[in-house]
Structure 1
């Protein structure tokens, strides 16, 4: 009897896409379970992730693992083929650092620059530039953060690699450009051009509709909020 692998996710979540990408790169069959994360989370999701109550959750032979970066490491340690983390301890630690940097620094700054109160967006944009500059420097002309092949940092950076450029088109706020960050901009093209990545991403027009609705909702709430 083989492994039973299930992924509880949401199609519009870059965090869910991380888990699916890692499984696909390793060729691990899995069952995908779509969650209504906005209005009606399933009892199973709440059971398997009672602390954060959010996607993604990986269910491996009945054992749940939550938090996307934790799940990526679990996947890499459980299925050894096509590793997404380096074997060398120092390089492995660096990959973990940059994956966490994306979550802790880059994504919150991008969200503030786009969704934050208008008076805070300019300062947030400066934070984004600093983050992207750091990623540009770490990439240092390599094809991927993992070198010649996609690794954990590339998978963790899928929000920058795909979603960010759609957000820019929807909002007109330019944060990542080929002029300012040539290596990182080229990386986004290389990342999306990878067949496994491309097959796991939803069409740009569908993502654009969801992003626009989310931005409009947030900005409307801000206009109604007391000063």
Structure 2
């Protein structure tokens, strides 16, 4: 093996070692928080243990997939996180307003600087017929971008769709696409099924509220 090949070979080994060490470091970060918390619990320092566990949970959340959970129809707009009147069924009268509720999980909380964080979520809305043909779409139906001094972990999303004129009776689906702008390649699709939809109803307001 000549000198040039030896240098290249040693360089590749160095890159592999550095990469492996970095991966190990990232993999053990959340475990370090847990281990420190366990030691604090043994010393009955529970408040400090909570802080360590919260930091560890933030690391785990950052590695988990974006989720849009508890997506349901409600009788009216939800007023707090988890506080809403669940609609008994998905059958709507013509002219009735659609209220929807959902909870975002594992979205990115980007640290801008010490004790200042940024969250940026978007949501697209589609209305499909029973054959999955797109009858209506609105990208960025929701555009939620905030900076906060707190890591806001409990965000709920409400969507309101108003029938300005009676919708044709039929079997329709609402397709909601929640997107995390940090990073842009992270998105989750959620289906809501209903028995009544529209081709031409106006859409007003999708928004996120903090618990």
Q: Could you tell me the TM-score, scaled by structure 1's length?
A: 0.24
The structure with the largest helix share of the pair is 1
The structure with the largest strand share of the pair is 2
Q: Could you tell me the TM-score, scaled by structure 2's length?
A: 0.26
Higher-Rg member (1/2):
2
